[in-house]
């Protein structure tokens, strides 16, 4: 039986590790192809098309409609449209939005920092509360604290984001007036974004009041977006901790006469964290999915809202390229998590 401590040392980047990494990357290619097909097909399966969406209530005369279909290339066979799209994407051309006429990549770069910033805070929120809560629940297994915490986690996990968000707004912003309703910063502050991360930009400009305003605006969306990951992390930490606590080396550590805090905090926790890291990695896609609703309620100018609006406008280009970009990011994160996992857990590398 290995002890927990050795696992945490930096693993040498050897050829086994390299092969493992290449394997993982090779597996991404079919995933990527699948994503392009899905992204391409799904938006086209919806009734209507961008021409009709733009024409609105008025509709468009049949002759003009045919003319526009030609102009957009929608009259081509579907496989040819797909081939064109893949060909363009392969050369790094993500196309130009049908409705706004701006390059998709440019819009993505503008909006992504907002999503990233919110997701980052939501994740910190989920970890800072979730991991200790999970540990306590495991240590006090079966106590009222454990029971109520796990009950709450289940509620949190099942919480409809839309309802939860509006509820918080109505109570904290409307009734108590403690937090702003939505947005990223008070409208009186106006500056050109440098990094696109409001917390960083306000600090670069040295505007403390603006920085505080950004934090105040982050509170509610962070809670809303972080709720589901918080529930998942708390539960995962608890079960990982329970498993580790029953291991022999923990009993040995206790037998050696180490303090309870040291046994739990050092010996048990470090090993329990391995599955938690994986969970956190997997929560990235949960965050991006949650961002769609959270961003809509909180007027947060991120990529989740961008996707929803593009779908309703049937903006094929934005939807297919945007989904691909988002998928690339999720895949990259998962890859990093896999690598990290291998680094902290040599058993994986050997496998």
Partner 1 sequence: MKKTMTFAAALLAASVLGGVASAKTLVYCSEASPANFDPGTTTGGNDFDASSRTVYSRLVEFKHGGTEVEPGLADKWEISDDGLVYTFHLHPGVKFQTTDYFKPTRDLNADDVVFSFDRQFNKENPWNGDKYLPNLTWDYYTGMDMPKYVAKWEKVDDLTVKLTLTEPNAPMLANLGMDFASIVSKEYADQLQKDGKMADFSTKPIGTGPFQFVDYQLDSVIRYAANPDYFKGKEKIDDLVFAITPDATARIQKVLAGECDVAPYPNPADIGTIKANKDVTLMDQAGLNIGYMSYNTTIPPLDKPEVRHALNQAIDREALIKSLFQDAGATPAENLIPPTMWSWNKDVKTDAYNPDEAKKVLEAAGLKEIQLWASDRVRPYNPNFQRAAELIQADWAKVGVKAEIVNYEWTKYRAEGKKKDRPGAFQIGWTGDNGDPDNFFATLFACSAIGVSNYSSWCDKDFEDLIQKAKKTSDQAERTKLYEQAQVIFAKQAPAFLLAHSQVYAVVRNNVSGFKMDPLGIHRFDGVDKAE
Determine, following the binding rule CB under 8 A, whether residue 187 of this chain makes contact with partner 1: yes
| Per-residue mark of binding to partner 1, 101-120 (x: CB under 8 A) | xx----x--xx--x------
Determine, following the binding rule CB under 8 A, whether residue 79 of this chain makes contact with partner 1: no
Determine, following the binding rule CB under 8 A, whether residue 314 of this chain makes contact with partner 1: no
Segment interacting with partner 1, rule: CB under 8 A, options 19-27, 190-198, 246-254, 272-280: 190-198
Determine, following the binding rule CB under 8 A, whether residue 177 of this chain makes contact with partner 1: yes
Cα-based angle 83, 84, 87 (whole degrees, multiple of 5): 85
Contact 147, 155 (CB under 8 A): no
Segment interacting with partner 1, rule: CB under 8 A, options 36-44, 57-65, 81-89, 257-265: 57-65
Q: Which of 71, 143, 147, 259 binds partner 1 (CB under 8 A)?
A: 71
Minimum CB separation from partner 1 for residue 74, in Å? 11
Determine the number of helices (DSSP H) and then strands (DSSP E) in the chain: 16, 0
Cα atoms found within 13 Å of the Cα of residue 211, Cβ hemisphere only = 10
Minimum CB separation from partner 1 for residue 185, in Å? 9
SS3 state of residue 103:
strand
Q: Which of 113, 134, 180, 290 binds partner 1 (CB under 8 A)?
A: 180
Q: How many CB atoms lie within 10 A of CB 257?
A: 6
- Count the site residues for partner 1 by CB under 8 A: 55
* 65 Cβ neighbours under 8 A, 6+ residues apart: 51, 52
Q: How far is CA 122 from CA 11, 214, 219, 221, 271, in A?
A: 30, 14, 9, 8, 24
Determine, following the binding rule CB under 8 A, whether residue 190 of this chain makes contact with partner 1: yes
Determine, following the binding rule CB under 8 A, whether residue 176 of this chain makes contact with partner 1: no
Q: How far is CA 178 from CA 165, 170, 214, 220, in A?
A: 15, 11, 14, 10
Q: Which of 9, 132, 160, 193 binds partner 1 (CB under 8 A)?
A: 193
Pick the closer one to partner 1 by CB: 20 or 306.
Answer: 306
């Amino acid at each position: 039986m290995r002890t927990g401590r050795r696992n945490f040392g930096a693993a040498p980047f050897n050829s086994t590790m390299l092969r493992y990494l290449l394997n993982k990357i090779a597996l991404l290619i079919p995933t990527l192809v699948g994503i392009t097909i899905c992204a391409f097909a799904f938006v086209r399966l919806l009734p209507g098309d961008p021409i009709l969406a733009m024409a609105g209530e008025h509709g468009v005369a049949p002759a003009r409609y045919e003319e526009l279909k030609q102009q957009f290339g929608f009259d081509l066979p579907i496989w040819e449209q797909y081939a064109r799209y893949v060909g363009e994407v392969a050369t790094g051309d993500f196309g130009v939005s049908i409705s706004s006429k701006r390059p998709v990549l440019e819009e993505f770069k503008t909006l992504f920092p907002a999503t990233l910033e919110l997701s980052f805070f939501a994740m910190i929120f989920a970890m800072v509360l979730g991991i200790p809560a999970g540990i306590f629940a495991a240590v006090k297994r079966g106590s009222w604290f454990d029971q109520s915490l796990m009950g709450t986690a289940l509620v949190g996990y099942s919480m409809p984001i839309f309802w939860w968000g509006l509820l918080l707004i109505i109570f904290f912003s409307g009734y108590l007036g403690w937090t702003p309703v939505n947005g990223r910063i008070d409208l009186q502050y106006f500056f050109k974004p440098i990094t696109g991360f409001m917390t960083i930009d306000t600090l670069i400009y040295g505007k403390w009041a603006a920085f505080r305003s950004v934090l105040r605006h982050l509170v509610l969306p962070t809670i809303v977006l972080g709720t589901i990951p918080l529930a998942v992390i708390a539960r995962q930490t608890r079960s990982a901790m329970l498993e580790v606590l029953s291991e022999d080396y923990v009993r040995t550590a206790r037998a050696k006469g180490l303090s309870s805090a040291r046994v739990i905090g050092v010996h048990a926790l470090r090993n329990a964290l391995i599955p938690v890291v994986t969970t956190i990695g997997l929560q990235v896609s949960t965050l991006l999915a949650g961002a769609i609703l959270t961003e809509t309620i909180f007027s947060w100018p991120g990529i989740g809202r961008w996707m929803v609006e593009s779908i309703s406008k049937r903006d094929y280009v934005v939807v297919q390229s945007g989904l691909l970009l988002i998928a690339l990011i999720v895949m990259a994160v998962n890859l990093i998590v896999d690598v990290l996992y291998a680094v902290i857990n040599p058993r994986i590398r050997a496998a």
